[in-house]
């Protein structure tokens, strides 16, 4: 078996699929064959789950919301699996490795979002929605314009979030197999389309659950094996990290990465309110049978994520010492140079440092599973916005059959897969946590304001929701495109047009102000109807009658 895989690797080299710089190391991959086999085994398991789920996906409810048959505990694990993405495992640990405490702020912001989701959003989402976020926002507003605007916002958020996952997938597979980055990204895109097309929400949910359990177990194992090397003393770990890091004691205090307080505040706003506006997370509240289970989902997800974030902190800080001082993990063996596999790989190298090739292979397989699960959820959310909101309700005005709707959704997932691959290749060099931060900034500006206003403000009108959502989306996108992250790094211009890299502090208030101003000035017949039906929505949100 080992010789067969080695021959396949050599054949890949001959056809140019292996990175030329790594081709000379192909023979050494044989030593890591158990890890590669573990990696392949997990892919086969997830495909098995998809096959099982495909037999149980008969209706639109099964495809979009798993038939509402997911328990609160299962859904909580799936929500945690959605948010514990490649940006968490690879991106945040690499930020802590590079910047120290500032990197940990990403974790804190994500956790802060969940009490808000628990107390003011979870129950109403479950009772008012059916398949997508647009179901909630259009409940008392005009269907076509609100659904179209919400679908566009959801698609934009999904596409940006997909970029981070595709970059992470490409780098993990490139590190383990030595193949070209673009080949790895294409492979992830193909698997993503298979999961969504055939398995729908049932497959996506169970892949998320399996992945969440494996990720927490693997992350805990790596963190504890590393922590043992410092006598289970955080003081000893911190002291050693400070002594070897180029920024010294600064890594234990804020200000290394965000010396500008405007950027720090903008990031925090985006992370907190953007998390509450992510369409693939909010869709999960439609998969549980009642509001009690929806609240339980948030409770379980918060506990799992809080524990794992502590492990991420240990992983990042331990990598400063165990990876940052070991020349074998740097290109050319030069400490302080470029990390092998890219800047998002400290967690993977730490797994190798404390557990050898076997633990590296396990964590690489788990990281890949993480990415597959998240991109499947994202693709399903994006495809649902196209098929359910735009096609079935905005274009067909509710006359489309379930079969037609699902067919459009599957076609849309294919298109999203192609787009995700192209963008993943374009953004190869970006930090994963940073990319996710940008995405959450867009979600905080385009999705969250209109969602929360539609649920709680009687004065919101259709015009206010549409214009507020569009202003939030367009301004957030403009700020991101004109910032250094895209205008300079991706497009190659010498200077950014917008001085900050996080948009939420500027674009989210614009969305709220626009929605408020347009709504209070709107006295059209539609606006009067929008306000009149608020009480009916309020009753249904409390009783669950809408379901």
Quote the strand ranges of 144-263, DSSP E.
Answer: none
For the chain, the farthest-separated pair of C-alpha atoms sits apart, in whole angstroms, at 75
Among candidate residues 538, 44, 74, 2, the one with its CA nearest the CA of residue 296: 74
pLDDT tens per residue, range 508-524: 999 999 999 999 999 99
**The domain 2-543: what is its CATH number?**
1.20.1730.10
Among candidate residues 283, 238, 247, the one with its CA nearest the CA of residue 126: 283
- In whole numbers, what is the pLDDT of the chain averaged over residues? 80
Q: What is the pLDDT of residue 201?
A: 79
Indicate the domain borders of the chain.
2-543
User: Burial code of 385-398, b = ≥16 C-beta within 10 A, e = fewer?
Assistant: bbbbbbbbbbeeee
Only one residue has tokens 């740097």, namely: 330
Give the best-scoring range by mean pLDDT among 15-19, 43-47, 182-186, 315-319: 315-319
Q: Has residue 268 got a pLDDT over 50?
A: yes
Beta-bridge partner residues of 18:
179
Residue 518's φ and ψ, nearest 5 degrees, are -65, -40
pTM over 0.85: no
Q: What is the pLDDT of residue 87?
A: 64
Q: Has residue 546 got a pLDDT over 50?
A: no
Say which residues have a Cβ less than 8 Å from residue 427's Cβ, sequence separation at least 6.
163, 167, 435, 490
Beta-bridge partner residues of 339:
330
Is 230 in contact with 236 (CB distance < 8 Å)?
yes
Give the best-scoring range by mean pLDDT among 351-365, 418-432, 463-477, 492-506: 463-477
C-alpha span between 251 and 258 (Å, rounded): 12
pLDDT tens per residue, range 64-120: 777 778 888 988 898 888 788 766 777 788 888 888 888 887 777 778 887 877 778
Q: What is the pLDDT of residue 7?
A: 43
Following CA atoms 497, 498, 501, 505 in sequence, which dihedral angle do they give, to the nearest 10 degrees? -160
C-alpha span between 36 and 215 (Å, rounded): 17
Q: What is the pLDDT of residue 496?
A: 87
């Amino acid at each position: 078996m080992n010789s067969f895989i080695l021959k396949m690797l050599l054949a890949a080299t001959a056809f140019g699929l292996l990175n030329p710089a790594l081709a000379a190391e192909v023979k050494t991959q044989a030593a890591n064959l158990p890890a590669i086999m573990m990696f392949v085994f997990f892919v086969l398991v997830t495909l098995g789950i998809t096959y099982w789920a495909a037999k149980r996906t008969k209706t639109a409810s099964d495809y979009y919301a798993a038939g509402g048959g997911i328990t609160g505990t299962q859904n909580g694990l799936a929500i945690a699996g959605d948010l514990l993405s490649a940006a968490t495992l690879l991106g945040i640990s690499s930020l802590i490795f590079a910047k120290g405490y500032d990197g940990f702020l990403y974790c804190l912001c994500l956790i802060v979002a969940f009490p808000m989701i628990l107390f003011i959003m979870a129950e109403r989402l479950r009772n008012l929605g059916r398949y997508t976020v647009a179901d909630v926002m259009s409940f008392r507003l005009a269907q076509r314009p609100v659904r179209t605007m919400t679908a566009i916002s959801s698609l934009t958020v999904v596409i940006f979030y997909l970029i981070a996952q595709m970059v992470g997938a490409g780098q993990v597979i490139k590190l383990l197999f030595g193949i070209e980055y673009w080949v790895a990204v294409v492979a992830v895109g193909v698997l993503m389309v298979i999961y969504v097309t055939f398995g729908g929400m049932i497959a996506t949910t169970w892949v998320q659950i399996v992945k969440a359990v494996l990720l927490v177990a693997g992350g805990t194992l790596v963190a504890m094996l590393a922590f043992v090397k410092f006598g289970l003393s955080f003081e000893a770990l911190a002291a050693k990290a400070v002594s070897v890091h180029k920024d010294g004691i600064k890594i234990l205090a804020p200000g290394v990465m965000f010396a500008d307080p405007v950027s720090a505040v903008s990031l925090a706003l985006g992370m907190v309110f953007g998390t509450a506006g992510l369409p693939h997370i909010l869709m999960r509240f439609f998969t549980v049978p009642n509001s009690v289970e929806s609240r339980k989902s948030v409770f379980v997800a918060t506990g799992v994520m809080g524990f794992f974030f502590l492990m991420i902190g240990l992983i990042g800080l331990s990598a400063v010492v165990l990876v940052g001082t070991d020349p074998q993990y740097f290109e050319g063996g030069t400490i302080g140079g470029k990390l092998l596999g890219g800047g998002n790989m400290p967690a993977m190298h730490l797994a190798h440092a404390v557990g050898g090739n076997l633990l590296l292979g396990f964590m690489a397989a788990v990281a890949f599973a993480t990415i597959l699960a998240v991109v499947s959820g994202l693709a399903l959310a994006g495809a649902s916005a196209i098929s359910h909101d735009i096609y079935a309700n905005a274009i067909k005005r509710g006359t489309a059959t379930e079969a037609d709707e699902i067919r459009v959704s599957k076609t849309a997932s294919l298109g999203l897969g192609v787009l995700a691959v192209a963008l993943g290749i374009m953004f190869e060099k970006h930090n994963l946590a940073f990319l996710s931060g940008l995405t959450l900034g867009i979600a905080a500006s385009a999705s969250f304001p209109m969602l929360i206003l539609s649920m709680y403000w009687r004065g919101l009108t259709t015009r206010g929701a549409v214009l507020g959502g569009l202003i939030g989306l367009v301004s957030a996108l403009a700020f991101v495109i004109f910032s250094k992250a895209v205008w300079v790094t991706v497009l190659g211009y010498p200077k950014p047009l917008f001085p900050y890299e996080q948009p939420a502090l500027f674009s989210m208030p614009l969305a709220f102000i626009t929605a408020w101003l347009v709504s209070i000035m709107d006295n059209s017949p539609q606006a009067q109807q929008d306000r009149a039906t608020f009480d009916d929505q309020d009753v249904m949100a409390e009783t669950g009658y809408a379901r």
